[in-house]
Structures are given as C-alpha cells and as structure tokens.
Structure 1
Amino acid sequence: MNTVRISFMRTISASRLLGAAVLTLLCALVPAVVRAQTVSGRVADATGKAVTGAQVAVAGTGIRATADAEGRYRLTVSAPGAIALRVTAIGYTPQSKALTVAAGQSATVDFTLTANPVGLDAIIVTATGQLQKAREIPNDVTQVAAGDVEKAPVTNFADLLNARAAGVTVLPSSGTTGGGARVRIRGSNSVSLSNEPVFFIDGIRVNSGATGNASNTVGVGGQNPSRINDIQVEDLEAIEAVKGPSAGTLYGTAAANGIVQVRTKRGRPGPTQWTAYVEGGTLYDHTTWPDNFFGLDTTKTGSARFGCTLQDAALNLCRQNGGVVTLNPLRDDSPFRMGSRQQYGVSLSGGSEATTFFLAGHFENELGVFLNNYLNRVSLVGNVHNQVRQGLAVGVNTRFTNSDLRLPDNDNNALGYLGSGLLGNATGRNGWGFLQPNDVRKINTDQTINRFTGSLDADATPFSWLTARAVIGLDFTNRYDQRTLAPNQVPFNQSTLDGSRAADPVQVFDFTSNFSASARRQLTSTISSSTTFGLQWFRERSVFVFASGQKLAAGTSSLAGVVIPSVNEDQVESRTLGTFVEEQLGYRDRLFVTGALRRDKNSSFGKNFGFITYPKVGGSWVVSEEPFFPQPAWLNSLRLRVAYGQSGIQPGTTDALQFYNPVVAIVAGNDVPAFVIGNLGNADLKPERTTETEAGFDADLANDRLHLDVTFYSKSSRDALISRPLAPSFGVTTAQFYNLGKVSNKGVEITLSGQLARGATVWDFALSAFGNRNRLIDLGKDFLGHDIPQIIFTPQRHVEGFPLGGYWGQKYTFNDANGDGIITSGEVTLAPTFSYLGTPFPTQGASLNTGLSWKDRLRLQITLDYRAGMSLYNLTAEFRCRQGNCPELVDPRVPLADQARAVAAVFKGDPIGYIQDADFLKVREVSLTYYAPAASA
C-alpha cells in the first residue's frame, strides 16, 4: 500500500463560536475560586518547544495545573510560605523546584524538561490508573509510540502495534481490506482457550474479537475482521503492553495472555486548536501467481485431453504426446483492480484551566483490490474533563464508530477468486476453475458495525496523602453480518443456483466498573510507603442470532423469500468480581519492594469452586545511585528488577455447566420438541492459572543517548483445560473439560533505543529482539489413569514436550528405481513414525524502527521486521496437486525431489513436503514526512 498524508493545524481564539459554546456550557459548572497567591510559568523542552499537557503540582497538596498549547501554566496557592513545585510529563524526566510565595503576591517559575521517553523516570500508567515512575515498577512495561501514526504509513491499530514491541507478535488474517489480526504476547498459554490479550481503552475493557463468531458469523474462507481495528489510531495518546502475569496480576482472571492499555487524547488548556488531515493512497496486487499445469494427450478428446499426469503416464494410462499446457487466469484474465484509500479527519481541542475538551471526526474509505471488497468507516470522539474543584476532577470519554465492510470469498474457499484461479480448468471459462470473476462478484457478504464506547472517570485527592480513582464504562458493539446469493447467478452447484440468504444480528456488551484508592506516606526520612486498594467488576454479554435460508425467491434479498429457513440463537455471558491490594515500600527513591494480592470470582467457574487468589511480589533497585557503585562515564544509570506474579484465564461460559440442547424428534410421525445432553459439565472446574517470573535490567548509556532494556521470563500455565475423553458406555458427549494440562513459555526480550545524532539533524532508533520457547508439558490422565493421547488436527498436534500446535508428519525417502525421470507412488516410502516439523509461531525475531529528522522539517523513517523459527503449511500448493494441476505431478522437467513431495501428499496422505520454512525479513514501512511551517497552516 502506498499512502500520502497531508495534515495541518491552526490555533484560534477560544472566542470562536464552537469553542465558546463548549467552554461556556462546561465552565458554568465550575464554582468560582477566590484569588490568592499565584504561581505561573512555562514548561518547555531543551529546544524551547512547549511541553503541552505537562502536569504542574504543589507537592503534598491536590493543587495542580496543566500546561497549555504554549507550555504555560497558572495555579493558585491557598496559603503563603515555602512550597515545592513538581512537573511531570509523559516522555520527560520529572523536575522539582522549591520557592517561597509571599502573601497576596505572584511568582514565576519556568521549567526546562529533558526528554526521556523510556528512562527510569518515565511516567507509566499502572493497572490502577495511577501515574508511576518507571523506576518504581518491578516489571517491564513496553510503551508504543502512538505518535508514529503521523510519520509512518499506519492505517489501523494492528499496523501501529506491529514490529514496535519486543515479544508482541501480530498475525494478520489476510491482506484483504477490512481483514483483522491476532495478537500474541510471549507465546501461547492455553490448549483449549483463547490466547489473545485483553484490551482496555481509557480504563475500561473492550471487545477485541478476532476469530470465530466473535469476528464474523458468515464464513468467507479464512479472512476475519478484528474489532481492535475499530480503534481510530489518530485519536490515541499512548499504548502500553503489559506482557504477562508478573505485571498483570492486578488485572486478575483473563490477564494471563497480557494486557494492552490504550489511552486517548485529551484537551489542553489554551486557545482552541484545530487539526485536520487528508490521506490518500493506492493498493495493488504484486503477487507472482503460479501457472496451472495440464498434461496434453492428443489421442483423447474433450477435457480428458488435458488430464494426463506423470503418474498416469507411468502406468501407460495416457501419453503426454502434446507436452505440457500452462494457463494462468489470475494473470491473463486478472480479477484485480488498483485499489484506493482515502481518509479525512478533523479535531479540535483546548479549554480553560478548569475544563478541557478534545473532539474529533474521521471518515475512511478503502477500496480493496477486488471489486466486491471495500470498507467505509465514520468515527467520532468526544472527551471532556473538568476540574470541579481543588482535589476533584471528572472526565467523560466517548467514541462512536459506524462501518460498512464487504468481504470477498477467498482463501480456503471454492467460491473465491483465488480458489478458481489457482485450481483452473484447461477447457472453457477462460482457464478458471469453479467460477469466473463475474460470478464471484455477485456474492455479497457484508458486515455493518455500530459501536459505542463510553466511560466516566473521577479522580479525587481528599487528603495530600490519599488519591482515589473511579471508572465506569460500557463498550457496546451492534453488529449485523449478512450474505446474499441471488438465484441463478452463481453457477457452482444446485445449492448456489437456488440462492440463499443469511442475516445474523450480533450484540456484544462489555461493562466495566473500577475503583481504586492509593495512600502514599513518607514513613521516615528514607522510607516511603504506597498502599493501593481496588475493586473491579466486569460483565461481558454476547447475543447471537443465526438466521438463514435456502432457495431464495427471485427479486428479493429478504429471509421472507426463502423456502427452507433455519434459525438458531446463542447467548454468552461472563461476570468477574475482583478485589486487590498492593503495598510498595521505597528506600531513598532507589529501592522499591512491591507485594500484591488479587482475589477473583467468575461466573464461568464450577459451582464447587469459590474465589481464586493471585499473588504478586517484585523488586526494583536503581543500583547506580548507591554510594558504593562505581560511576563510569559511559553509564548514566542502571536498574535491576525482578517480579513474580500469577494470573489466569477463565473457562468458557458453559464449560462447567451441565445443560441440554433442544432438538426436533419424530413421535408417531409428528415433529415434537425434545432435548439431548449438550454438556456434562464439571462443578469443580477452575480457571487456568499462569505463573511468571521475570528478571531484567534497564540502563541509560552514553550521556543518556542510549537506553537498554533486557528481560528474561519464565512462564508456566497449570490447570489448563483439557477435553478428557469419556467411555462410549456413557452414551452421551464424548469428552468433558478438566483442569489437567501444563504449558511452559520461556524467553528473552531486548530493546536498545536512543539518539545517535542530536542538533539540527536528529537520528533516532529503536532496535528490539526476542526469543521464545513454547512447550506443552503435560496433557494429564484419563479416567483410567492413562496418559491422554496427543491431540491431533492434521497436520498439527498438541504433543507433550513440543510446542503447542506443532506440525507433524512422516518423513519419506524416494528412489527413481527404473530411471524414467518420474517418481511414482511405489517409489516413495514413508517412515513408520511421525516426526516434529516445526511451529507455526516465530521462536525469535527482531525489529528496527529508525528515523532521520532535519530541522524539525523533514523526516525519513524506516521499519524493518524479522521473524524466524516458524513454519507454515502451504495448503494452497498441496491442494493444487490434489486437483492435478501443479507442476510436480504434470511436468517431467520438475526435479525428482519436488515430484516426491507431491506424491507423498497426494497418494500417501503425508503433507510433510508442504510444511515450509516461513522466516522473513520485511521492509514493513518507509515514509518521508515534511512538516510545513506553522504560519502556512
């Protein structure tokens, strides 16, 4: 994809009509403040550029102010005397200054901050919503630069997350417009449950469905949308990846796979600032599609002339006296078009010291490379925050998304362009197999989304030593999946000619209620204490209605026009109640010890299982600040850290329940309602528990030009849900879930970032690398005490001692015994046992993000992405051979090894030759950005 983005920003007087209307309405809620002593000033960075949004606070009080667009702040001090001001800003080292304020007088204090986005004094938002310095946190938290959206070709949230955090792997479902992605953090933990992380936006949990019915109820062959791409990247302030249980204990059950925290933009005090952008780009297919091969036998007629394979020729069933014919409809009768992308957006922000606002609107239109593939999306955002009074602030965050997506049939799908093109026919239809492009274009599969995400938060400082935060919110997704095949339009088989209709409304509700309070005290002159208590409640409810019908009446696209209707309904609900307490002791602001406990109760637990407790303990030591530590010139700071913690994954909603499924029975020749056992349930079922130990160090080097972050982790999951087989004599379902399994992940993550050049020309970079070792340790025992056999879904298996979902097959040997240059079935011998072939997930990887800026006007940025240690099943190539049109089975010029690979797969049922190395090095992004002078906006 090629994109061009133009944006401009203008600051106008807040007296403009819209700014005035917003401020007048909101400021009416703010009580008058009696003037007293005032302190004002400006917060800037080392270049003099304003640090907008910096927080300036009077230490030990709830008095604070926010720097406006020009970096200026103003606050009122209730009593004269000596005070200490402390300024904090995300991405900068905090700074403090002491001063004495005379009665009724004003004072001016300016601050110059040092940029330090990843150093020890960088500001991190914790699980409780509190701001905390990185030096105090015993585990690794990776921050993703949301600002990259303005200087890189980022079109969705998955793009922004990809190749920017060590240990975070993004797996796109396809290159189709509207396609989604799966996310893995530090490997896979579960055999039976989801391995996706949990996503939070502004403190509330949100729907992130990327697979199965959570993504789309109408299958199109493997392409799945992902709800994380509903997030508008232009409205994001920061993204933080909390990578494992050692960091995610306070998030409780469901946090074992990691947490991704997203914070959206807020307004800053000052004049109303308008920002607008226009983005345009093109999409094109640059794949070299393979030819379809056919052996020509001129002694035969009709389609049989083109069906002479090497195997048949060796058996004298045909003769390739006409040679080999090749056709390539994907190239010669291309179904592809030049796609296009356009996006427009505008935002305005500003406000007073008391009330700030951020409003934004976006429109996106993307036309994919297929005619029946497009995405239209409108996103609206409104965030308002009000300092009600000293020590109390409230905020409202709202987002609305409407999108219309049309997906083409493709991938593992005979009704798709690629299926018909790669499995072509040598006779008729211009070389296409099952359908021609005009037929495929008449299949309409659509998804409509109306999504609202809203939250209300309140921050209170009733005492100088006590802060409290409350957040309540709802993420509601109203989805409509539909598909129409008009009668007599799609000539694949009689069913498609009859026509059909599917219309599936889906509603997903995610409720969040979160309260926490933190007490910070200086116990002695050298020891500090921070105690946090919290209460959380989550509720997720999904309602699916599956309505479809066959034999659609001509001229209608309604279910009312079908002859054979079918309807089903599914409701899924999960509730979690959790409490936590955390205590952190600090010594001289360089040694911190943290301990925490989290207790959860979830509605998916078995009725005999009560609460589950997750512990956490960790330590952080800035050893370079100790008097005994040597002070080499090349080392500015060194922090050692270690953390231990637990978290979990709740069972599926109905896994623990015994329930019955409704069916239709025939009694005396009549249809009557009846029930059969749907699940035996397990009253003792509990969540999968994941334990992680993490250790590492952070170092600032070369006069703070470089930052090095190294982390080692060991993560083990026990009580993993395993489907235990039942004896046939039970006469019911064949399996029952029990907590039996164990899974292990061990790895290392390294990140080196910094600036290699400063001044008029700035060269910055971030280099990250990771390694992961995933193993299934135990599958448990069956009811007779025997080992549960490996779980097989050919060619993948869950096998003890090997990675989850590894590829397995029988190795083979071959020998052209008669020397005729053709490998036949009898000349390929399979090994008697199955061997491990590889894992579908990368075991190691690295990424490089680097940029060169000149005078804050021109910037060149490049992103490289490397993944290794993984394999993929090339089902496309194997399936082409099974259809008899791949070169390995037709062309005698193909090497014998390639012939043997196809023979083993097609005639021996062993796809080992198509389990292929999937390592790659990609130039993922290249962008050139010019920043025009502010006066030109």
Structure 2
Amino acid sequence: MGKPRMNRSFAILLTFTLLPIVALAAAPTDARAQGGTITGQVTDAGTGAPVELAQVTVEGTRISVTTTAQGRYLVTGVSAGVRTVTVQRLGYSDASQEVTVPEGGAVSLDFALATAPVNLSGIVVTTTGEQQKLSIANVIATIGADSIVTSAPITNVTDLLQGRVPGVMTFSNAGMTGSSARVRIRGFNSLSQDNTPLMIIDGVRVENTTGGGSQIGPGQFSSGWTAGAVTDLNPEEIESIDIVKGPSAATLYGTDGANGVILIRTKRGQPGEARWSVYTEGGLIQQAADVHEGWYAWGRNADGASIRCENRVRVVGGCTLDSLTTWSAFRDSPSAPLGLGHREQLGVQVSGGVERFRYFFATELENETGYLELSESEIQRKQEERGGVEIPAWQRRPNYLKRMTMRGNVTARLNETADINVSTGVTLQQSQIPSNGVFWRGSWGPGYNDDNEGWWLGDRPGDLFATRAGSNITRFTTGINGNWIPRPWLTFRGTVGLDHSAQFSDNLLRRGEDTSGALNTGFRNHIRSDIALYTVDLGSTAEFDINPTVKSRTSFGVQYNRRHQGVAQARGTDLPPGAQTVNGAANYTASESNVQSVVAGTYVEQNFDLDGRFFLTAALRADGASNFGKDFKTAWYPKGGFSWLISEEGFFPRGSFINSLRYRFAYGASGVQPQATDALADVRFASVFVNGQSRTGARLFALGNPDLGPERVTEYETGFDMDMLDGRIQWEATAYYRKSVDALVRRAMPRSIGITGTGQLDNVGSVRNMGVEADVQAEVFSLAGATFSVNVNGSVNSNELLELAEGLRPPEDRFIKFVEGWPLYGQWDRPVLGWNDDNGDGVLQADEVQVGDSIIFIGNTNPTRMLNFTPTISLLGGRLYLSSLFVYRGGWVQTNFSELNKCNFGSCRARNDPEAPLHLQAQYIAFTKPGLTYAGYQEDGTFTRWAEALVSYTFQPGALQPLGLGASSATVSLSARNLMLWTDYTGPDPEVTANPSLSGNFGTRWDLGYDNPTAPPARYVIVRVKLNF
C-alpha cells in the first residue's frame, strides 16, 4: 500500500516542535543551586494515611509538583522569603500555609487534608486556564482516564466515554476492528450540520469528525467509518478528560462549541528518578450477536413441480407444503466466515526529571485481528479458481488493525514565573475493513443450502473478501504551551499547535478474482486525504482582591483556528489480466479538492469570588469566519452565570446529613458554522459535446448565500451538587434548555433554474433541545479492607423542530422527516393499525391487515433515555478490585432493514412458516400493500447491555521480590466487553447505525437509525499485566 505524504507545513511544524525539545533538554537542570527547598508530607486528616498525587504549588510562581505514593514532596529552587504553599487533590479540600524559605536552606511543611465532596473539589481546564470546579457556574464532567485504563477493557477513547458521563452517548457504527464511533453530547442540535463535539488535546484542536464507510468499489461500501481522534488516540497516554457539555459552558470556544467540547490532558512527568511502566495485554474477539437464519417452504404446485410454497399461496390451494428448512450462512454454512479474533498490545512509558525539567515519553504497539476469517473450504475453492495461487493473508483474515503510537511531553521551568510545555503525539496506523456485503448476503440467503451454500446473489465470503479495502493513517499532533507570571496577580499564557492527519485508502480487486461476475473485470481506487488544523490561543488573566471578601479575576484572549483539507482520488475500472494500477485500467477518472476555513475570535471574561461562597461570571466572545457569507458581519456570543455554595451560609443547618450543597446557574451562546463552501457560488467544470466535439464546459452547481451565518445556539443550565453522609453519597443534578435560531437548512432548488447541486443553505429554522441529567456516587458500605460502592448516572433528552421558513421543505428520506412541532430526524410512516385472522387459518391476507391512511410519527432515530450503572467492590485494602458496567438506552426506534429485506427476497419466517406469529405476517403484508409502509419494521430499539466486567489484583512490593523483576508494583486484570444484551429488538443488535450507502439526502450527519445490516458490536475478553518500576 502507499504511504501518506508529509506536506511542507507538516515538516515545518515538526522542525519547530523538535527544536524546543532539544533546547529544553540542553537547558540547565540543576535547580538546587539556586533558592531554597521546601519538603514535607501530605496526609489524610481523618486516617493519617499518605495522600498520593496531590498537587503542591507555590503561589505566584509556576512551581508545582505532585506527591509520591508515601505522600512526600520536594520543591526546589524557591526564592527566599515568605511563600504561600497550596495543596490540592480531588476528593479533598484545598489547604494553604505560609512558610519562610531561607536562601540556600531547607524548610519542612506538612499538610493534613480534610475530605471534601468529589464533585466540588479539584481543578478543571477552561479556555481561560485552570480554575477551581467550585467556582464554575456550569457542569463539567471529569473522567480519570489513568485509573480506568489500568484494568478496564479499554481499546480506544470511545470505550473511556461509554457509560461514564450522563448526557454523553457513544454509538457503535460497526463491530469491525478499526471502525470508528460517534460521540453525541445532549442529543441532536442541528438539522443539517455535524453534531460531533470539538476535541482539544493539550490545548490543540484536533480533527474529530467521522464519516461514513468509504466506497471501495462499484456497489461496495466498507462497513467501517473514517476515523477521528476519538478512535486513533491511545487511551494509555491520557491523564484525564473534561467534558464541556454545551453553549452555556462552551461560549468561549466560539463558533464551533455548540455541540460540546472534549478536553483531553495527556500525562506529564514529575520530578524524581525515572519511573518506568511496562504493560502488555492479550485478548480474544468474537461475534457476540447471531445473524438470523433464512426460511424456505418446500412444496409442489398443481403440476407437481417443486416451488417455494409461501403461506399466502398455500392457503388458497396454490401449492402443497412438503417441508420447512432454516439455514444461516453465518452459522450453518461450511463457508461461514466466523472465527476467533485476537488482540495484542505492548507499551512502555517513562517519566521523571528534576524541578526545572520534567519529561514523559511513551510508545505502544497494538495489533488486532477481527473475527472474520475465510473457512478452509473457501480457501480451497478460491485457490482452485485461481489455478492454485496461494490466497494472501489479508484475504484469509480481511479485518485487522496495526497501530504504533508515540508520545513525548516535556516541561521546562525557565524560572520561578515562567514555564514552557511541549506536547507531541504520533500515530501510525494500518487497517483493513472489508465490505459489509458479507452481512447482507449472509442475512438474505434463500433459507437452505443451495449451490451457493446459502449465500445471497451468488457471492460467498471468498468473493467478497477478494477486494482489498486498506487504509493507512498518519496522525501528528503537537503543541507548544507557555505560561508567564510577571506579577503575582498577572498571568500570560499561549498555545500554538498543529494536528495533521493523512489518510490513504487503497482498494483493489484484480480481474477474475470476484467470480460473481458483477465486478469480475476488476477495479482500483485510490483516495488521499490530508487534514491540517492549526491552533493559536493567546490569553491573559489578572487577579486581585477588591476587599478582604471580594476577589476579581479578569481574562482576555484571542484565538485563531485554521483547517485545511485536500482530497485527491483516482479510480480505474476494467483492469487487464495482471494489472493493478489505475492507469492500467481501461476506464479511469480522477478528482481533486482543496478546502480551507478560518475562524478568528476574541473574548473577555470577568469573575467575582464573594467570600468563597458566591461566584459570578460574565463573558463575551466575538467571532469572524471565512465560512460566513461576505455580507455577514461578526457573530457575538454572551455568557453569564453564578455558583452558590449554600452550605457555607450562616442559615444552613449544621450537623445535618447534608454536608455541602451548591446551586449553579449558567447561560451562554455558541454556534455551529456552515461548511467551507456553503456561502459561495459553486461553478464546476465538466466535459461536454459541442457540435460533436468534446469541450470543457461550466455549470452552476450551487447558488451560494452572501448573508449566510452560523447557527446561533443559546442554552440555560441549572442544577445542584450535594454531598451527604460525610461524603458517602454525592449527587449531581442538571437541567438544561437549548434553543437554536438561524438554524442552517438546505433549500431544495428547482432544476429549472439550472442548479445541479443539493440546494442553497440558509439560516431559516429554529430547534429546541432540552433535558435533565443526574449522577449519583454512593459508598454502600465500608468495612475493614472492604468497600462496596455504586455509580448511577443517566439522562433524558428531547428535541423539537420549532420553526421552518414558510413553504420550505428540507431534503427528506423515505421515512425520515422534518416536521414542525416534532423531533429532528423523526421516523414517520403509515401505522399498522391492527390485524385479524378472520377465517382462523393462521395466515393473514391483505384484507385482514389494517394500515392507516396518513403518516404519523413513529419514534426518534436515536435514544432519548440513558441510564448507566457501575457497581464496584474493593477488597484487601484495595488490592483486589471488581467492577461492572451496565448501560440502558431507550426512547427510540431502529429500522430493521435486515428483516425487511429478508422478506423482500422471500426468505423471512412470515412468508414461509405456517406457524409464523401474526404480527410478523402483518408487518410484511403492510409493507407490500399499495402505498407501502415501513412501520412494521420500525421497532423499539430499547436495550440493556452488560458492557464491561473486570477483576484486577495489585501485588504488594514484597510479593514481587521472589520473581526478581525489580518492579515496585504489578497489576494483573481480567476484563471483558459486551458480555450480554437484553432487548425486544428482533435484529441482531439495535446498537448499529446506517449502512453508508443509505445516507440519502443527509450528507455526512450519519445519525440515522438503520440496521441494513452491518457488523454488530464484538465481544472482547482481555488479560492485562502492568509493571511499575
């Protein structure tokens, strides 16, 4: 396969990234030669136990360290004089003390931290820098990735997000190895634009969009989806994830933040000797859901000829039933392509440094092979067809992923008041995701073992896997961040960075290798895509005390984000024997596109802290963007809110079972910008014939819109955080109301005006989105060395199309509609009102099934209710750890195209089995009546899944000495993912999404509830070992 090319900007950024690393490595690192030293221990005030990973900061400087496993810390290079030292740790109240530091000497300072509500303590990352969570008026969810990845069955960032934050849903696009997934925060917001949240890694914006499976050949689509950072980022490199859920919190992120923001912080080094971690894992992968069988009714007509004796023909005397067979090509056929997949992973991390220079380096190798596998009979058949030529490995195991990741993070403290951080990550990935045609043909077979072994339309796995559907991805993300505190009350910060992803898709079918005939002449398809995102973020914050009880914090900043995408494609069909290049094909085409967009904005934010109990926030952001129409001016986004710690007021009852109570309210606005060329008149060139001669002509593809602006989304959010029973129960509850005005809607244009594109985008709609969220963490009991706790979180969401311009009808699908007063992307159709077997023969006829005359709303296309339940047991002082995750999704419908098309092709139970339930017969008859309806196949998609289970054990240092490994600790875990599914949905699995070829009029949104079918989520069983040195 070809390799992605490094463009010039990529090489320049790489050079400017490596230069600071080299310079920092060469900088003086002996901090002990200057200033004084502060040392001490941080312990739990209640138990006296050491507190690990507490952050110790010298106020007014950039000096910060974390405590060791023994709670010890060492701060060097502190200027002599009176200094304030602050200690912070999630789950504990902040503590500060003053100390006099002698020049060239040392002083001891110990801290005993009191426990505090987990949902109020800690520091979160915001646009204006790090802030206390207590002072922020909106909800921000935090995931401690480092502690989860150690033992849970986590293979990508999507696994980290699943079931851990209310209002955040992940959607499995396909169960193939290497497939991407979608993340949605608080449901749908836009009619026409992507609902994917922003993702920012160490201050650098990264490409996170996921598109549909690529077309790998005429009539063939891959069952995987184009990858974003949510798929190819290594979870082992992540320290924590903060999730900003909507406009009330994301105002300062500007005209892209309305769908929420995922903020990822990767690991950093801490002063001290080198700390090494080595981990490895191995696992098995299998298909978790069964692909249902087909049915065939064997019978004879009046002349004795063998025919399919369907129920409706049989009951009127048209045939006589002899026997009934069922057959699943995936379960019964000798050519069934189901095997046992496997995954292996090996990683090494090292961190350490001195006070002035810290480092974290990591690398990982990952190999995963999916469960699809050519059977021995298929291998033999294909080798005989090819004259004994060996079947290559990529056809025998057509679904695989090979990935290498590298990360280097370095931090240098230039002096007491300034530091610089360089963060660099590289991903090299090779994958192959075959056509999901194998699931079509396995699902829609005839219902018996015919000459094609029960596969539909003549193609067997050996034919389908003959198409190479490979992809190479190179991702390079780098950022340089600097902080400077010229005065104790003034901070400057800046970040510049680049996220560059290059993807090369390579699809090849050699002539004669697909014996079905449809594609047997061969084809070759090349697609190169390069996406570069540039980030510049500069800001300053001034903090001062207005009086002893009122503190002010004022922030100002400017941001610049640029995105460039270039795509080049070459396709050739009708390959001569032995040829495998595009230019060797008899027919070939080529295309190229380059698109660039820029967003620049500025903001100001004002915060007031009133005696540590009441916090006020007000902010304003102004944006300009190249995607706006030329006559559209600046987009303005205001923000405001307050956080009130009620439990600190004098009227709050002391000694009650409620230990702390905070109320919060936030308002904010943000935007969703149109695509880069939506505002422009689009003229495209094409070959035309004039007077019999081939000429190049031009045609108007889109009108453009000079007044086009962003969708403007405003949100109100309110909620409370409560700590009860001395921290044993923590509540977090939130309600939100979101409304978009100037919603982007595409107007369908009449062909008579000569427009050949998809219409004109305009700001002519309004959408409402609202919901509630709750998160409860409870310690059920705690005995000597044993703890049982549970986490329950969930949400309910609804949206509604409030308004469309009069007479406007946006593009719609056969049964996906936009109707004022109803949810976006609702499923609509004529309902099946009922049925009655009047003559009692057990077979319904057309006149025995009643279908409504008008279409009605059937249901939402994605879940509106979610509930996640995580029980955890800790034994032996935390060394033995057991946990599970159960997820529930409800309030939606899934269109079961798997069953619908099986009936279409004659092999469903409803058409063949004399004892088929009447409701199955009714849904098929309703589909075949004049004015057909899909309603019978629009099923309730509600499900509950046992998503994760794990058990891990951490060995004490003494237990490892006989092994001679030299490790300070070791953790061994056994985990599994996707263990069990409970649902009334009759397809293989409701948690799959549209076949890419069914995207219809909806472009790249990919939020439709189709099961056409595709690969259901796979099951993983993983054993993992991690050693720390």
TM range (shorter): over 0.9
Deviation at 1:167, TM superposition (A): 0.3
- Shift in Å at residue 858 of structure 1? 0.8
1:61-117: per-residue Cα shift (whole Å, max 9, x none)? Answer: 55544545653222344233x433212245543211233445664310122345657
Retained in 1: the 8 A contact 2:521–2:574? yes
- 1:322-341 equivalence runs, <5 A: 322-333=322-333, 334-341=336-343
SS of residue paired to 2:704:
coil
> What is the distance in 2 between the residues matched to 1:766 and 1:194?
31
Q: Secondary structure at the match of 1:179?
A: coil
Q: Please name the residue that 2:249 is paired with.
A: 247
1: distance between equivalents of 2:821 and 2:419? 53
Residue 419 of structure 1: SS of its match in structure 2?
helix
Correspondence 1:883 to 2:938: no
- The reply to whether residue 510 of structure 1 matches residue 512 of structure 2 is no
| Structure-2 residue corresponding to 1:224 | 225
Give the equivalent residue in structure 2 for 1:779.
804
Say if 2:813 is the partner of 1:788.
no
2:348 is the counterpart of 1:346: yes
Does 1:398 pair with 2:424? Answer: yes
Deviations 1:796-854 (A, max 9, x none): 21111111111111123434455443223344342111011110221211112232112
Structure 2 CA distance for aligned equivalents of residues 28 and 731 of structure 1: 65
Which residues of 2 match residues 362-761 of structure 1 at below 5 A?
362-370=364-372, 371-410=397-436, 413=437, 416-424=438-446, 426=448, 427-434=450-457, 435-494=459-518, 496-733=519-756, 735-758=759-782, 759-761=784-786
Overall identity of the aligned pairs, in %:
34
SS in 2 for 1:543: strand
Task: Please report how far the alpha carbon of residue 144 of structure 1 lies from its aligned counterpart in structure 2 after TM superposition.
Answer: 1.4
- 1:137 corresponds to: 136
Secondary structure of 1:246's partner?
helix
Shift of 1:153: 1.1
Paired position in structure 1 for 2:171: 171
Q: Is 1:821–2:842 an aligned residue pair?
A: yes
- 2:42 aligns with 43
CA offset at residue 868 of structure 1?
A: 1.2
The letter for the 2-side match of 1:741 is: G
User: C-alpha deviations, 1:570-626, integer Å up to 9, x for none?
Assistant: 222211001010000111011111000000111100000011000000001101101
Partner of 2:79: 78
Residue 7 (structure 1) aligns with: none
Q: Structure 1 residues 267 and 300 mapped into 2: Cα distance closer, same or farther (>3 Å)?
A: farther
Contact 2:37 2:106 in 1 (8 A): yes
Post-superposition offset of 1:520: 0.7
Letter in 1 for 2:869: L
Deviations 1:119-178 (A, max 9, x none): 3232111123x2211110000001112021112111111111010000001111011111
Q: Report the TM-score, using the length of structure 1 for normalisation.
A: 0.92
Unaligned runs of 5+ in 1: 1-21, 782-786
Residue number in structure 2 paired with 1:11: none
Q: C-alpha distance in 1, partners of 2:702/2:153?
A: 48
Residue 520 of structure 2 aligns to a residue whose secondary structure is helix
Number of matched residues?
Answer: 902
1:866 partnered with 2:888: yes
Question: Would the aligned equivalents of 2:251 and 2:638 in 1 still touch at CA under 8 Å?
Answer: yes
Match for 2:857: what amino acid? Y
Which amino acid counterpart does residue 123 of structure 1 have in structure 2?
A: I
Helix, strand or coil at the partner of 2:252: helix
Q: 1:65 to 1:830 in 2, by over 3 A?
A: closer
In 1, the alpha carbon distance for the partners of 2:35 and 2:507 equals: 67
Write the deviation string for residues 362-421 of structure 1: whole angstroms up to 9, x where unpaired.
1111110113111111111111111111111001111111111111211xx3xx244244
Give the partner amino acid of 2:506: Q
Kindly report which structure 2 residues correspond to 1:850-929, keeping only aligned pairs within 5 A, or say none: 850-854=871-875, 855-908=877-930, 909-929=932-952
**Partner-residue secondary structure (3-state), 2:915:** coil
Give the deviation of 1:482 after TM superposition: 1.5
Which secondary structure does the structure 2 equivalent of 1:184 belong to? strand
* In structure 2, C-alpha distance between the alignment counterparts of 1:644 and 1:143, rounded to whole Å: 21
Partner of residue 390, structure 2: none
Farther-moved stretch of structure 1 (873-882 vs 846-855): 846-855
Structure 1 distance, partners of 2:213, 2:838, is 52
How far apart are the structure 2 equivalents of 1:729 and 1:549?
34
Residues 285/27 of structure 1: CA separation in 2 closer, same or farther (3 Å cut): same
Secondary structure in structure 2 of the residue aligned to 1:408: coil
Output aligned runs, 1:87-166, within 5 Å: 87-90=87-90, 92-101=92-101, 105-114=105-114, 118-128=118-128, 130-146=129-145, 147-166=147-166
In structure 2, the partner of 1:6 is none
* Compared CA separation, residues 60 and 459, structure 1 to 2 (3 A): closer
The answer (yes or no) to whether the contact 2:302–2:319 under 8 Å persists in 1 is no
Q: Does 1:310 align with 2:331?
A: no
Q: What is the one-letter code of the residue matched to 1:490?
A: D
Task: Find the aligned partners of 1:216 and 1:437 in 2 and give their Cα distance.
Answer: 16
Quote the residue 1:8 is aligned against. none
What CA distance in whole angstroms lies between the structure 2 residues aligned with 1:258 and 1:159? 18
Residue 440 of structure 1 aligns to which amino acid in structure 2?
L
Secondary structure, counterpart of 1:205 in structure 2: strand
Change over 3 Å in CA distance of 1:35–1:145 after alignment to 2: closer
Shift of 1:554: 2.3
Report the Cα distance in structure 1 between the residues aligned to 2:851 and 2:66, rounded to whole angstroms. 72
Give the structure 1 partner of residue 391 of structure 2.
Answer: none
Cα shift at 1:300: 9.0
After TM superposition, the structure 1 = structure 2 runs for residues 226-305 of structure 1, keeping only pairs within 5 Å, are 226-227=227-228, 228-299=230-301, 305=306
SS at match of 2:290: coil
Please give the secondary structure, in 2, of the residue aligned with 1:480.
strand
SS in 2 for 1:666: strand
Give the direction of change, closer, same or farther, for the CA distance of 1:764–1:137 in structure 2 (3 Å limit): same
Cα drift, residue 700 of structure 1 = 1.2
Q: Per chain length, whose mean CA-contact separation is higher, i.e. which structure has more relative contact order (CA < 8 Å, sep 6+)?
A: 2
| CA–CA distance in structure 1, aligned partners of residues 303 and 554 of structure 2 | 85
C-alpha distance after superposition, 1:475-506 (max 9, x if no partner): 11110111111111113334x11011111111
Q: Secondary structure at the match of 1:497?
A: coil
CA distance in 1, matches of 2:683, 2:238: 46
The letter of the residue matching 2:886 is L
Structure 1 distance, partners of 2:66, 2:655, is 38
| Aligned-partner Cα distance in 1 for 2:214–2:906 | 37
**Counterparts of 1:77 and 1:157, CA distance in 2:** 39
**Mapped pair 1:932 → 2:934:** no
| Letter of the 2:227 counterpart | S
Which 5+ residue runs of structure 2 have no aligned equivalent? Answer: 1-20, 373-396, 961-966, 968-1029
> Residue deviations 1:166-211, cap 9 Å, x none?
0001111011111111111111010010011110100111011212
Q: Is the 8 A contact 1:295 1:891 kept in 2?
A: yes
Q: Distance in 2 between matches of 1:574 and 1:267?
A: 36
The answer for the alignment partner of 1:810 in structure 2 is: 830
Does 2:856 align with 1:835? yes
CA contact (8 A) 1:392 1:458 kept: yes
Report the Cα offset of residue 543 of structure 1: 0.8
Which secondary structure does the structure 2 equivalent of 1:450 belong to?
Answer: strand
Distance 1:605 1:486 in 2: 46
In 2, Cα distance between equivalents of 1:751 and 1:799: 33
- Which AA in structure 1 matches 2:233? I
Deviation readout 1:887-919 (Å, 9 max, x if unpaired): 101222112222111111134421101111111
What secondary structure is seen at the aligned counterpart in 2 of 1:332? coil
Is 1:593–1:618's contact at 8 Å kept on the other side of the alignment? Answer: yes
CA distance in 1, matches of 2:773, 2:920: 38
